[in-house]
Chains A and B, each alone.
Chain A
């Protein structure tokens, strides 16, 4: 008894450990960005991505080719490579190779700057016969190293020297033919030397660890047999049927007994033939009927003959083999509240048990196919497994020719001539070779990546410093009262919108705060049928807010609702019926031709069709004025255990907190616009990934509206004033929502605006419309299908059409290109063109003593920003392993996720079309605070601390008084040394971005600079 409990806790622990590595993406209807490698956050970033790559068979960084392209076009510079290598070598004793001829760092530098192909023996043989690779020196050698080779050979002896670039015997050869002959001689001599030393020295043979799963062993031994290819289609079908949230008309019988038992019931039936491999599956399923999944897992592990110490690894690998589905089952198990329709009783252990039974049957079949004869004992797979292990092919390293070829290439790069190579003893040759091989592709890519990030960091930090040198003196003079203060989400897509608002004139000020505006709530709009949470995913709201029609239109609302329901029922049943036999047979001939109208309209005139469709389905929605019930109601009546509305004290603390966070505690304008955001698009299963991350993949308009209602309430203002936060009586808050896809704005509660403010609001709305047009124009520069010479008005129409077009796979580009997060006063960054790549969080260090505000800002922003940034990073560096691949074959399954085609693993992560223009760099978080304040604030938050200390974000302190920038590195801050102090200057943003499609460096936009700030600099 005792022993079995031990086993079951063992198993639980194993499962919990393994589940950690499964994709943590929930049902796709609510897509929440998170760090793809969250499970590895306890390790330093560079180590984590490499470990994860090994475990999940994915890519840790971009490809080496891609980095070399970036090097060639100057995105990575040689200085970056040198700096990265120097940092890498810091603290290590200097090493030299090849009898002290070549410093190790020099070798690394050469291998980074020049591509050295590692080819197989066969390829080398081909190269030797078909090309002049051993007759000619590499074309990418520096002229002086080239000359050294030619002269060295002419001298017929090796020449000792200090470094590879120093030229000895500067004989200039002007005869071309002589040079070709010399080159051939030198190159061949080098080749022979390399072959000779390589033939003498033998590196030790590598014995790779064999895989733990039978499937991997079988594939390695008999490549035509793959048990996963047999088992997965069946598993996918069962998992999809089990998790289905309402696609199939007929749900799986016995779902309530769990995946394992319901599948076992189904598969144990005696009816019908089976596939060749699964002939014994029904019998096996009959055996496990009624057995617990845990017991079945143990039994099958024993049947499969897996030694107990390897169980954990075996379980992990088995789950990872179909990780999308396994992960979704885990999500249903852990967060049943997030199930779209049915919280089916999903358990990961059920999945594992089912999988292991199928695996065992398939393995037995393969064993028989491979001619393995069981010698009578019942569980014979253990014997089969040891035979597979015996037959597992050892890893053969490259042969002599391939090794010689590699040495030949490297010797040229580091300036070792034939004589040098020949003079090396066996030990030195092996050391040199080991130095080359241990600087493997992963190491090179890691260093390239660091160099890639370094260049971006320097560019941004230089721009920040340069911009501030202009802005700082101006900040002391008191400005006139601003006309409008705009509060946006921190989202980097709002950066351009804010910049264009500021270009309207100095009278406009902007702020950024997490787009739920401090109002965590379940919200049910007038047209919604249930309440959805609008707040960051880590928060569980305790309040529910409803949108209710006003008394006088209640009758109209009721009429509209019944009309809408009738309409929905008809369209719903026609759509569903068209898929059935009888109704379909009736509808298709009768109604099919009518469908030609929407078909032609949707495809040929998407924008017009959408407008008509909207008007039709609106059914007079605009005539029903509504209010949010933000204030506590008498009758709660919510099953979810939440309260209806907030009480006054709660509302006052929400308003206070947001205003303090953004540093808006005095100098209020007459009008404060609070703008949340969301995104609407078609042909896009990932639609909610484009919505507001701070609203948990929802739209932030209702939060902005609720916040404005709270801030306008005189009773709340009284409470705030009592606490020292005085909002002038003539200040009015207006809530709105920005659609980041269509670049359109909607405003709420305009009928409540006091008469005295009507003019201001009208002007503000005008401004907003103009800004939305400019913003659309700036966005269009990224779309290849938007012609470059577009006017702003055309651009607005273009983005609107994109958002409703069924054929458009890139309705908007989402968070692609995000790279920077600035937490600080806007006046320090105002006027800077940041190319929609920066999260801008308002924070005023001068009003924050002790860093408490910073701590709560970091707690909200840090994990969300890093999550978005890292999800884009991983989905781009491995488009299939971490990302969802191209969208074109995606197929929505069970309303929980997408598959490629008709039966594949669930594709988690982001599709290619979302990430293709992204630059994978870790988020550069620049905080307007002293290093000590930052460390204290981050230290108090475990989640942020982990991200910072393990370098999952790049942290920079921007000193509030001295303006000094310093970069966090291994526990301390290193001062940033600016490379350039000037910044290109343009009048308006459009001048800077017009005609460009790719990423743009920062520039100073004069129109956005703010009041009376003179701006010296070079005009672009």
Chain B
């Protein structure tokens, strides 16, 4: 077996293993024959475990070759005219460490959830969605064409939305899931449009036609206009999953789901999906100062928003959601500044730290009592903050803004959603009148 074949096998294994576990537990569930809890946990865990091991092997192989990128052509997905969507996967200095990290984390969360979800009526559903997520994540990370990336991206999105609404009997959970889903869909338009633009520009979705293969310092192969358009669209897409202003309202609500899925989605992987895609398309950003500037502005605004709003949150999970948002926004700023390795390290470090904190959140009282006992009193929270410099009137106003979550939801609700629904209502009204008029006319002519 040549080195290339070996790496191809490993890459395919990384996708196939979680996908196979999905089939093994998902198929019987379709016929109402759920596997036992232990079997479910083991099958899904096995899928992630194999993926993780394959990732480690690949890391070793690649490290021995100084991370020379390896591209695997796994066939063509579909062809429309002379546009073709190829299934190209890549193993390079970005995707391999990231895939190890993401499958390892999935493996761990799987072990956690096996105990946590015990006796829950939706046990199998949870693991099916976790497997969909894991497969989608690996697909997204290993993608070397924008079409494959989009497929992975969608798997992540749909599993995330369905897990927010995991507790089907609770209205709030379903509302939150719907909100997350709608936000995702709106921003997905960006990625889809980017895909169309890329196909239009180079005739295929492959990344190697857009930029060179050596991550992170690859040359951009398309005109700066195309690069700008594509990267602006990708920035738009990333704004949804990374919960950037003004699309951030869904994130605190997403904590309606079970704790382990909150940890892996909103503390670790899903929240950074946008950052990953931007890192992958880094050469395009490098070629487009406009997009980079936009990214920095959006990231900075969101970081400021999230850190101020986060300071007034009184429940553990919302507080952690805003803390996640703060760091994820900061990472976008770093990417916008043209850094590549620092944001990657930041993503990994933040994901591990935050998911541990979310998993520990139900033990917060216990931890708090231990901390108080250790320091002999109540801890001073937050420490120093620039807000302390504000005059008291301004501080009160700032508190109100933070308590209302920066008026983001109200503004979006009143100035975007409200007019839009009113417009749709009017349109529906007009349509029915129009139809009635048409029907009346026809009746008239017949008579």
Among the listed stretches B87-95, B137-145, B347-355, B427-435, which one makes contact with chain A, having 4 or more residues with CB under 8 Å of it? Answer: B347-355
A195 CB to closest chain B CB, in angstroms? 38
How far is A583 from B404 in the complex, measured between Cα atoms in Å? 25
A329 to chain B, nearest CB (A): 14
Contact of A592 among B349, B359, B415 (CB under 8 A): B349
Which of A82-90, A802-810, A840-848 lines the interface with chain B?
A802-810
Tell me if B68 counts as interface (CB < 8 A to partner A): no
Q: Is B34 on the interface with A (CB-CB < 8 A)?
A: no
**Residues of A close to B415: CB separation below 8 A:** 273
Chain B contacts for A684, CB-based, 8 A: 362-363, 366
Q: Give Cα A1008–Cα B407 distance, bound, in whole angstroms.
A: 69
A772-795 vs B: 1/0 string, CB under 8 Å? 000000000000110000000000
> Closest CB of chain B to A569's CB: distance in Å?
6
Determine which of A580, A895, A916 lies in contact with B382 in the assembled complex, contact meaning CB atoms within 8 Å.
A580
Q: Are B258 and A682 in contact, CB atoms less than 8 angstroms apart?
A: no
Tell me the smallest distance from the CB of A8 to a CB of chain B, in Å. Answer: 31
- Contact pick for A576, options B114, B252, B379, CB 8 Å: B379
| B24 contacts partner chain A, Cβ-Cβ < 8 Å | no
Contacting pair B314 A595 (CB below 8 A): no
- B224 CB-CB contact with A under 8 Å: no
B320: which A residues are within 8 A, CB to CB? 579
- CB contacts (< 8 Å) of A265 on chain B: these are 396
Q: How far is the CB of A18 from chain B (nearest CB, A)?
A: 26
Quick check: B381 and A901 within 8 Å, CB to CB?
Answer: no
The interface bits of chain B over 129-162 (1 if a CB of A lies within 8 angstroms of the residue's CB, else 0) are 0000000000000000000000000000000000
The answer to whether B315 touches A891 (Cβ under 8 A) is yes
A683-B303 Cα distance, complex, nearest whole Å: 30
B30 surroundings in chain A (CB, below 8 A)? none
A123 contacts partner chain B, Cβ-Cβ < 8 Å: no
- Return chain A residues, CB-CB under 8 Å to B253: 901-902
Given contacts A576-B381, A903-B172, contact A600 B315 (CB under 8 A): no
The interface size of chain B toward A, counting residues with CB under 8 Å, comes to 102
Known: A682-B362, A891-B361. 4 other contacts (CB 8 A): A238-B403, A247-B316, A266-B400, A529-B372
**Is B404 a contact partner of A894 (Cβ separation < 8 A)?**
no
Task: Say yes or no for A174: interface residue by CB 8 A criterion.
Answer: no
A599 to B112, CA, bound (A): 11
Tell me if A479 counts as interface (CB < 8 A to partner B): no
Cβ of B172 to closest chain A Cβ, rounded Å: 6
The 18 sampled A-B contact pairs (Cβ below 8 Å) are A246-B368, A249-B385, A273-B414, A576-B381, A584-B326, A584-B350, A588-B350, A590-B349, A592-B351, A593-B349, A599-B108, A685-B365, A807-B359, A888-B116, A888-B117, A888-B167, A889-B167, A889-B170
Cα of A564 to Cα of B365 in the assembled complex, Å? 19
Q: In the complex, what residue of chain A is closest to B388 when comparing beta carbons? A: A250
A353 interface hit (Cβ, 8 Å): no
- Decide if B315 touches A902 in the complex (CB within 8 Å): yes
Shortest CB distance A413–B (Å): 34
| A886:B397 contact, CB within 8 angstroms | no
Docked Cα-Cα span, A784 to B353, in Å, equals: 32
Q: Is A902 touching B382 in the complex (CB atoms < 8 A)?
A: no
Q: Which B residues have a C-beta under 8 Å from some C-beta of A?
A: 108-109, 111-120, 167, 170, 172-173, 176, 252-253, 255-260, 303-304, 306-307, 310-323, 326-327, 330, 342, 345-346, 348-357, 359-366, 368-379, 381-383, 385, 387, 392, 395-397, 399-404, 407, 409-411, 413-415, 418
Which B residues are CB-close (under 8 A) to A592? 346, 348-353
Task: Determine which residue in A248, A267, A893 has the highest number of CB atoms from chain B within 10 A of its CB, and name it.
Answer: A248
Q: Is the CB of B115 within 8 A of A807?
A: yes
Known: A590-B349, A592-B351. A806 touches B411 (CB 8 A): no
Which of A571, A587, A600, A889 is most buried by chain B, counting CB atoms within 10 A of its CB? A889
Chain A residues contacting B401 (CB-CB under 8 Å) are 271-272
Complex CA–CA separation, A602 to B362 (angstroms): 14
- A555 on interface, CB distance cutoff 8 Å: no
Q: Cβ of B349 and Cβ of A894 under 8 Å apart?
A: no
Which single member of A254, A275, A593 contacts B352 (CB below 8 Å)? A593
On whether A580 and B383 interact (CB within 8 A), knowing A273-B407, A891-B361, A895-B364, the answer reads: yes
Q: Cβ of B396 and Cβ of A253 under 8 Å apart? A: yes
Contact call A892/B361, Cβ cutoff below 8 A: yes
Nearest to B304 among chain A residues (CB) is: A581
- List the B residue with the shortest CB-CB distance to A904: B172
Interchain CA distance A891-B176 in the complex, whole Å = 15
- Interface membership of A241, Cβ < 8 A: yes
- Nearest chain B CB to A997's CB is how many angstroms away? 12
Answer whether residue A940 sits at the interface, using C-beta atoms and an 8 A cutoff: no
Partner of B387, one of A29, A250, A561, A587: A250
Considering the complex, give the chain B residue whose CB is closest to the CB of A529. B376
8 Å CB contact of B366 from A573, A602, A687: A687
Docked-complex contact B108 and A603, CB < 8 angstroms: yes
Q: Does A460 contact B (CB under 8 A)?
A: no
Residues of B within 8 A of A588 (CB): 327, 346, 349-350, 353
A341 at the interface (CB under 8 A from B): yes
**A890 close to B (CB within 8 Å):** yes
| Complex interface: chain B residues within 8 A of A527 (CB) | 373
The reply to whether B400 and A599 contact each other, CB–CB distance below 8 Å, is: no
Chain A residues whose C-beta falls within 8 Å of the C-beta of B404 in the assembled complex? 272
- CB closest residue in chain A, given B254: A902
Chain B residue numbers with a CB within 8 Å of A577 are: 383
Considering only CB atoms, which chain A residue lies closest to B370 in the complex? A617
On whether the beta carbons of B362 and A890 are closer than 8 Å, the reply is: yes
Q: Which 6 A-B pairs have the closest CB atoms?
A: A592-B349, A249-B382, A568-B374, A901-B256, A893-B315, A581-B307
The residue in B311, B403, B409 that gathers the most chain A C-beta atoms within 10 A of its C-beta is: B403
Cα of A895 to Cα of B176 in the assembled complex, Å: 24
State the Cβ distance, B261 to closest chain A Cβ, in Å. 10
How far, in Å, is B245 (CB) from chain A's closest CB?
14
Given A584-B326, A588-B327, A276–B414 Cβ distance below 8 Å? yes
Q: Using Cβ atoms and an 8 Å threshold, which residues of chain A touch B410?
A: 272-275
Give complex CA distance A250, B256 in Å.
24
A685 partner, pick from B115, B310, B349, B362, beta carbons under 8 A: B362
A275 touches B363 (CB 8 A): no
Task: Check if A567 is an interface residue, CB within 8 A of chain B.
Answer: yes
Nearest to B367 among chain A residues (CB) is A575
Which residues of chain B come closer than 8 Å to A604, judged between CB atoms? 108, 111
For residue A528, CB closer than 8 A to chain B, the reply is yes
Find the A residue at minimum CB distance from B363. Answer: A682
Contacts known (A28-B365, A902-B315); A246 close to B378, Cβ less than 8 A: yes
* A687 to B370 alpha-carbon distance, docked (Å): 14
A237 at the interface (CB under 8 A from B): yes
Residues of chain A within 8 A (CB-CB) of B303 are 581
The reply on A539 being an interface residue by CB < 8 A is no
- Take A29-B365, A588-B350 as given contacts and tell me if A250 and B312 are in contact as well, using a CB distance cutoff of 8 Å: yes
Distance to closest chain B CB from A475 (angstroms): 45
In the complex, which residue of chain A has the Cβ closest to the Cβ of B364? A892
Question: A750: which B residues are within 8 A, CB to CB?
Answer: none
CA distance A41 to B61 in the complex (A): 73
User: Nearest-CB distance from B167 to chain A (Å)?
Assistant: 6
Q: Is A309 an interface residue (CB 8 A)?
A: no
Asked whether A1017 is an interface residue with its Cβ less than 8 Å from the other chain, the reply is: no
The reply to whether A591 and B411 contact each other, CB–CB distance below 8 Å, is no
B327: which A residues are within 8 A, CB to CB?
584-585, 588
In angstroms, Cα B368 to Cα A685, docked, is 11
Please state if B116 and A892 are interface contacts (CB–CB under 8 Å): no
Asked whether, in the complex, the Cβ of B364 is within 8 Å of the Cβ of A571, the reply is: no
Check if B352 sits within 8 Å of A595, measured CB to CB: yes
Residue A361, interface by CB 8 Å: no
Q: Are A250 and B365 in contact (CB under 8 A)?
A: no
Contacts of B118 in A (CB 8 A): 784-785, 809-810
Q: How far is the CB of B350 from chain A (nearest CB, A)?
A: 4
The answer to whether A593 and B348 touch across the interface, beta carbons within 8 angstroms, is yes
